[in-house]
Structure 1
Amino acid sequence: MRNRVVITGLGVAAPNAVGIPSFLDAIQAGKSGIVFQPDLAELKFSCQIGGIPPVNEAIRNQYFSELQLRQLNSSGIIYGVIAGMEAWQNAGLPVATDEPDWDSGIVFGTGMLGVDKFRESIYKVDEGQVRRLGSTVVIQTMTSGVSAFLGGMIGCGNQLSANSSACATGTEALLLGYERIANGQAKRVLAGSCSDHGPYIWGGFDAMRVMPYQFNNDPERASRPLSATASGFVPGSGAGALVLESLESALERKATIYAEVLGGHQNSGGQRGGGSMTAPNAQAVKRCIQQAIQQAGVQPDDIDIIDGHLTATIKDAAEVTAWCEALGRRGDDFPYINSLKSMVGHCLSAAGSIECVASVLELHHGFVYPSINCEDLHPEISALIAPERIPQQVIKQNSTVLAKANFGFGDVNACVILKTFYQ
């Protein structure tokens, strides 16, 4: 018999807020975290705006020593540790002392980590200064660097790993943690993902011309998912983290339960049927949603909210079409649908986890956050669903079931079904 899995801890470092209390206020208010980035302008980027978490010195000092901060220049590790440790503390869990916590594990993913450290290292190696590289180069640049940092800080003795599946990384991490607990191989898993920021991460996307350049003087209006004037995604960074726990363990220690994970699905379009390295196979997207619903044991009509991937590109209308076909719902019958990227931009490998945190908060606190900047709804989307199903102001509503999905480069998909917890 599979274990029921619930969420008992949350942590976040997002462009519009750091920490759960501030993030909750920000997403309810529709607060944007996208600002002008002078370094991008100096480097002649077309898109000169982005979302970077407002992490100050006081926040850093809560989690890192002065020596660590002198050595660290991987923003992704900093964001991941902040979000991960907040989630662990939010769950009311202790840090292991003499012996590892054999029942607790970590799955914390990322995409490109430590690029600034790579750049620094390349110059030193090319100049024959290998001995001056320092002792943290490998830790800061390996994909599992964040999970390794967190594993040591918490003392986890169960699975300790990192995943990497482009924009689907965070949602995939949640599903990997869910499966481990459901199968009885762990009691708790800290699941999440993070992303570095900066020109060396974002430059390739600017070269692909998939980021907007028309809003450099008006950054807060730039990220426009579902809009007719959407012209590309705004880059962002940060981290999100969730503590997944068996229901039995959560009840035993009287933990706050934010939501239940009912199940989900991951697949790939195989870069066939219209799918490519950068574009999704529509059939695979639809199938991923349908399989997630089936695995979760719910019906399409049960879904109250869709927290979409919705990047503010030409694929937004195709995504809404896939949801309509997968659910067999449209018009006034369609669930509420929103996109956190309207406020924080596309946080790349951190997108899924930050958006999953927002989704859990929606269920736990009974609201639907606004999808800002889509006052001019895309005509292909308005032909499919009623405009009022896309909230532009916060809506107070006690929802029961939420579907969260992310679709990434490489034609990969992940969808998780979350539910308000009722004992």
Structure 2
Amino acid sequence: MDNRVVVTGLGVVAPNGVGLTAFTDAIKNGTSGIKHDPQLEQLQFSCQIAGKPELSDDFIAQYFTALELRNFNSTGILYGVIAGMDAWKDAGLTITEGDEPDWDCGTIFGTGTSGIDKFRESIYKVDDLQLRKLGSTVVVQTMASGISAYLGGKLGLGNQTTTNSSACITGAESILMAYERIKTGQATKMLAGSTSDSGPYIWAGFDAMKVCTYKHNSSPEQGSRPMSASASGFVPGSGAGAMVLESLDSALKRNATIYGEIIGGHINSGGQRGTGTMTAPNSIAVQRCIKGALQNAGIKASEVDAINGHLTATSKDATEIQNWSIALNRKGSDFPYINSLKSTIGHCLSAAGSIECVASILQLHHDFIFPNINCEDLNPEISDAIDFNRIPQQLLNTNVNIVAKASFGFGDVNACIILKKYVK
């Protein structure tokens, strides 16, 4: 079986917008969600700015019962449940009631960690001789599969319900895994996405590694500078992105809105060999991943209209551009348009790929390419491979047929998805 796979629902909890309307407006206008974080300043972090979604208690209460919120302290699960349930609702799907789950629907929803703040809160209250007093709610909030367990229960999913975790490619990987499940006929609908906890216990390690910017604590919106000559490290972020993937036959049968089509992709690893390390990419592996995605999707490199890159505002941005140029055999004015959502939301770690995939699908569906901000001083190493006008500084309203979305992560792992405008 070889089903066509389409996207019929979207949900997003991002630093610059919660919900599709707010998020779409934000990415079109280049609105930043990066702000000064008083807690990071109090803890004397080098980087004292961050991207965190803003959620009110009343808003959260629309997704969780009072009982569920008792002793609840897991931002990753919080963001993921909201994005996932919003995507389900956006797809026009109802929640399964009764004793039987929906055997044809499942979820693959990734995360990097789960409930770090909850775990810290719990163990802080007890010593080793009182561990039995941790409390029952700590389990589901801190187990790796907590997010998929919550979503599976809330939506009544009876197909595969699991959590993946592969650093910064987690979101892209979850979507490709769900895509394969529908393509091969093992499921009709899959909720795919990823989420990331927020806060100092997540970000402290990166601050210690000195990969986060420290130069913009007084000018937060200028801090995340992908592809810029003055980039000085990434800005930590958090949130969640989600999408409902569905077989084309199922989507047409119920007259669903179709945002776009997933036509292929590829996942690989550089094995931390050659130029690859725990924190740096093996360029040959990256190029093979991009070429593998094109081959799997059955398209030519010349057909790619736009790239939504990983592009973290670190020294590796120039390497990434070079790898795209080599893999596509395109450079200068022939290079596709390219943008990085991290300029407005920071690096959302395990949630990055899924939030960025939502943005990529929105570009396809509404025919626009969102602007990069903070890239007026293009890195000269990048300008060798690409003309400056291929990096939009303002909203570009243009027909977009194919978008290549890639994520690269710690452990020298890579994922690339090919997204296409849906044509009957």
Question: TM-score under structure 2 normalisation?
Answer: 0.99
Counterparts of residues 9-408 of structure 1 (less than 5 Å): 9-98=9-98, 99-126=100-127, 128-408=129-409
SS across alignment from 1:53: coil
SS across alignment from 2:125: helix
Deviation string, structure 1 residues 185-220 (Cα, Å, up to 9, x no partner): 000000000000000000000000000011000000
Aligned length, in residue pairs = 423
Deviation string, structure 1 residues 269-289 (Cα, Å, up to 9, x no partner): 000011000000000000000
Q: Which amino acid aligns with 1:90?
A: D
Shift of 1:113: 1.3
The answer to whether the Cα contact below 8 Å between 1:10 and 1:91 also exists between their aligned partners in 2 is yes
Name the CA distance, whole Å, in 2 between partners of 1:302 and 1:190: 28
Shift of 1:57: 1.6
SS across alignment from 1:353: helix
Deviation string, structure 1 residues 209-236 (Cα, Å, up to 9, x no partner): 0000110000000000000000000000
Q: Which amino acid aligns with 2:318?
A: A
Q: How many percent of aligned residue pairs carry the same amino acid?
A: 64
Q: Which amino acid aligns with 1:299?
A: K
Name the CA distance, whole Å, in 2 between partners of 1:331 and 1:247: 37
SS across alignment from 2:13: strand
Shift of 1:383: 1.4
Gaps of 5+ in 1: none
Name the CA distance, whole Å, in 1 between partners of 2:91 and 2:130: 45
Name the CA distance, whole Å, in 1 between partners of 2:127 and 2:278: 33
The answer to whether the Cα contact below 8 Å between 2:36 and 2:49 also exists between their aligned partners in 1 is yes
The answer to whether the Cα contact below 8 Å between 2:265 and 2:418 also exists between their aligned partners in 1 is yes
Which moved further from structure 2: 99-108 or 130-139?
A: 130-139
Name the CA distance, whole Å, in 1 between partners of 2:186 and 2:339: 34
SS across alignment from 1:9: strand
SS across alignment from 2:385: coil
The answer to whether the Cα contact below 8 Å between 1:3 and 1:246 also exists between their aligned partners in 2 is yes
The answer to whether the Cα contact below 8 Å between 1:311 and 1:341 also exists between their aligned partners in 2 is yes
SS across alignment from 1:129: helix
The answer to whether the Cα contact below 8 Å between 2:123 and 2:134 also exists between their aligned partners in 1 is no
Shift of 1:125: 4.0
Name the CA distance, whole Å, in 2 between partners of 1:114 and 1:421: 38
The answer to whether the Cα contact below 8 Å between 1:124 and 1:130 also exists between their aligned partners in 2 is no
SS across alignment from 2:61: helix
Q: Which amino acid aligns with 1:362?
A: Q
Shift of 1:346: 0.1
Name the CA distance, whole Å, in 2 between partners of 1:82 and 1:274: 39
Deviation string, structure 1 residues 107-156 (Cα, Å, up to 9, x no partner): 00000111111112222342633343221111001111010000000000
Which moved further from structure 2: 359-368 or 56-65?
A: 56-65
Q: Which amino acid aligns with 2:25?
A: D
Q: Which amino acid aligns with 1:372?
A: I
Q: Which amino acid aligns with 1:194?
A: T
Corresponding residue for residue 5 of structure 1:
5
Name the CA distance, whole Å, in 2 between partners of 1:8 and 1:58: 28
SS across alignment from 2:261: strand
Q: Which amino acid aligns with 1:312?
A: A
Shift of 1:70: 2.7
Question: TM-score under structure 1 normalisation?
Answer: 0.99
Deviation string, structure 1 residues 262-310 (Cα, Å, up to 9, x no partner): 0100000000011000000000000000000000011000000000000
Name the CA distance, whole Å, in 1 between partners of 2:285 and 2:106: 30
Name the CA distance, whole Å, in 2 between partners of 1:55 and 1:6: 30
Gaps of 5+ in 2: none
Shift of 1:65: 1.4
Shift of 1:11: 0.1
Shift of 1:7: 0.2
Q: Which amino acid aligns with 1:258?
A: Y
SS across alignment from 1:128: helix
